[in-house]
Structure 1
Amino acid sequence: MTEPTTRDRILDAAAELYRRQGMSATGLKQISAAARAPFGSIYHHFPGGKEAISAEVIRSEGIRYAAFVGAQLADINPANGIEAVFASAAELLESQDYSEACSIETIALEVASTNERLRGEAAEVFETWLHQLAGWFGQLDIGDEQSRRLATVMLTALEGAFVLCRTLRSVEPMLIAGHGVQAAVHAVLASAQ
């Protein structure tokens, strides 16, 4: 197994810090220290500074989360398995003592009105996720529009539940959200018959 490059360590450190404390609360010196990298290497690998690091974190974390969630969904039928997906997310949150969130979500919340470049990067990731979720719902044979709607309901419920769970320090919002999304799927399937 090869050692991660300095650039990779910087990205990994930034992503972890963003998940735990948000982008605004994370400084370049803190990223440098967490990455065990000389401060000058930040600008060597990311001449655009924090914005460049953040854009790359959004892209790389988007790919990582998509692969993780894709693996979780691979053997689950959306007709009856959504609550299990949300229960798994609840277990993960609890095991991390509610300390981590989706780094893309935290960045998107901070920059949606202030940084068009990063907002656009986050929007692109969310669109990719919605497309992948819509494809997963497509196995229900409910049409593209309904699949996209259910994907939006699921992603919105999941991301919102992460915020509530971390704030309330309870998995209850995640479990309720999973039940709600599963109910929405059952309603769409009932109306399609």
Structure 2
Amino acid sequence: MSPRRSDSRERMVNSTVALLREYGASATSIDRVLAHSGAPRGSVYHHFPGGRTQLVEEAVALAGDFMAGVIEAAMEADDPVAAIDKFFTVWRDQLVKSRYRAGCPIVAVAVETNDEAPHLARAAGEVFAGWQEALAAMLRRHGLAEDRSRRLAALIVAAEEGAVVVSRAQQSSAPIEAVAAEIHDLLVLALGNRPDAAPGRTPHID
């Protein structure tokens, strides 16, 4: 049975996310999205009158919302260190599952110059800012000062994104696991020594 025509919009956005993760922004063309999603060509400008730019923008928003949901779910945990461990676990698992082919779609958009649609880079920046704010709010709730919370949140996001890039390049989970361990220890020290998470303990991210 062929996919329902009414599914085409959602399939195209999901395909755009997948293609951004694997091939980058410049290689994510309308033709490639159609081939990946199986959506009819006539649906492109019906659902996305702004064309490829609108499609990429919506894919960035979808991917950003997904990870924001992961962060928000983690924030419900009583242990903020475990919550950040989980943040790294999600990325590590995605890398391994894709055999290191799939990175972060937000980075794919952020790092490419697009003079015709500069708002795409701004949209990527807003996604990162949202993740940082959510992480900072969690750290504040567990007793850290405003400035320290914001600095650590920025470090966590930057370290995670950099680790994803290096792990892809080296075809190994070792870089992201090493970064996760260092962030774990840093947070234990920042939040105070705890019997369940002493400095030097390697986080469990299996």
Report the TM range for the smaller structure's normalisation. 0.7 to 0.9
In structure 2, C-alpha distance between the alignment counterparts of 1:132 and 1:89, rounded to whole Å: 17
Answer 1 or 2: higher relative contact order, Cα 8 Å, separation at least 6.
Answer: 1
Which amino acid in structure 2 is aligned with residue 52 of structure 1?
Q
Which amino acid in structure 2 is aligned with residue 33 of structure 1?
A
1:134 corresponding residue in structure 2: 136
2:61 corresponding residue in structure 1: 59
In structure 2, C-alpha distance between the alignment counterparts of 1:17 and 1:186, rounded to whole Å: 37
Q: How many residue pairs are counted as aligned between the two chains?
A: 189
2:181 corresponding residue in structure 1: 179
3-state SS in 2 of match to 1:12 = helix
Paired-residue identity, %: 29
| CA 1:3–1:69: 2 relative to 1, 3 Å | farther
2:152 corresponding residue in structure 1: 150
In structure 2, C-alpha distance between the alignment counterparts of 1:82 and 1:88, rounded to whole Å: 10
1:41 corresponding residue in structure 2: 43
| CA 1:102–1:87: 2 relative to 1, 3 Å | same
2:11 corresponding residue in structure 1: 9
Of 108, 126, 131, 1:106 maps to: 108
- Larger helix proportion of the pair: 1
Of 78, 92, 95, 1:93 maps to: 95
In structure 2, C-alpha distance between the alignment counterparts of 1:92 and 1:119, rounded to whole Å: 23
In structure 1, C-alpha distance between the alignment counterparts of 2:5 and 2:47, rounded to whole Å: 17
Uncovered stretches (5+) of structure 1, i.e. residues with no partner: none
In structure 2, C-alpha distance between the alignment counterparts of 1:149 and 1:22, rounded to whole Å: 28
Which amino acid in structure 1 is aligned with residue 93 of structure 2?
E
Task: State the Cα RMSD in Å.
Answer: 2.3
Uncovered stretches (5+) of structure 2, i.e. residues with no partner: 193-206
In structure 1, C-alpha distance between the alignment counterparts of 2:120 and 2:169, rounded to whole Å: 24
Residues 93-135 of structure 1 show CA distances to partners (whole Å, capped at 9, x for unaligned) of 2232112111111111113777421011111111111110111
2:25 corresponding residue in structure 1: 23
Contact 1:161–1:177, Cα closer than 8 Å, also in 2: yes
Q: Summarize the alignment of residues 157-172 of structure 1 with structure 2, pairs less than 5 Å apart.
A: 157-172=159-174
Does the alignment pair 1:71 with 2:97?
A: no
3-state SS in 1 of match to 2:111 = helix
Which amino acid in structure 2 is aligned with residue 166 of structure 1?
R
3-state SS in 2 of match to 1:67 = helix
Q: TM-score, normalised by structure 2?
A: 0.81
Q: TM-score, normalised by structure 1?
A: 0.86
